[in-house]
């Protein structure tokens, strides 16, 4: 909750819920975190009301079946593609923050590809 309180920008994904192997229950951490973030933005003090939020979803209207009260938020579908989600986050950050020049979407995707390739080797070293 401290992280959510201090965070100016929130990127939230609406996951496809599956059942946990050991419990046969779904996990709801991500929707809870998004709810806390939106609650801070709506009901918090001046600094909380300045929060900006991006909500990602794999399919355009899938969320309506499980979390219909989120209607009114600007939901950004990414088709289940990490590259599309990365570009959406990059473009959103460029529009809501006052960044130094950000790399373009294709460069973000290229860097992500290098990270995915390199991460297992890095983890093995560590």
**pLDDT band for position 118 (50/70/90)?**
very high
18 and 74 both lie in a single domain? yes
Same-domain pairing of 36 and 68: yes
- C-alpha Rg value of the chain to the nearest Å: 17
Could you tell me if 76 and 26 lie in one domain? Answer: yes
**pLDDT in the model for residue 7:** 93
Total domains present in the chain: 2
pLDDT in tens, 8-56: 999 998 876 677 788 888 778 888 899 999 999 999 999 999 999 999 9
* pTM, entire model: 0.78
What is the rounded CA–CA span in Å between residue 36 and residue 34? Answer: 5
Q: Where are the beta strands (DSSP E) in the chain?
A: 9-14, 52-57, 75-77
pLDDT of residue 61: 80
Q: Which domain holds residue 93?
A: 82-126
61-111 residue pLDDT tens: 887 777 777 777 878 889 988 889 999 999 999 999 887 788 888 998 899
Q: Single out the residue of 111, 95, 118 nearest to residue 103, CA to CA.
A: 111
Nearest to 32 by CA among 70, 75, 71, 60: 70
Query: Which pLDDT score, from 0 to 100, does residue 75 have?
Result: 86
Q: If DSSP codes are grouped into helix, strand and coil, which group holds residue 12?
A: strand
Same domain, 66 and 87: no
Same domain, 63 and 93: no
* DSSP E strand stretches across 15-82: 52-57, 75-77
């Amino acid at each position: 909750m401290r992280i959510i309180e201090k965070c100016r920008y929130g990127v939230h994904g609406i996951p496809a819920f599956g059942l946990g192997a050991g419990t046969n229950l779904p996990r709801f951490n991500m929707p809870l975190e998004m709810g806390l973030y939106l609650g801070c933005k709506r009901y918090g003090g001046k600094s909380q009301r300045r929060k900006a939020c991006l909500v990602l979803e794999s399919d355009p209207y899938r969320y309506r079946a499980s979390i219909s009260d989120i209607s009114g938020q600007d939901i950004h579908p990414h088709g289940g593609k990490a590259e599309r989600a990365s570009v959406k986050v990059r473009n959103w950050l460029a529009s809501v923050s006052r960044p130094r020049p950000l790399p373009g979407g294709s460069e973000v995707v290229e860097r992500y590809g290098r990270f995915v390739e390199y991460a297992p080797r890095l983890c093995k070293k560590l």
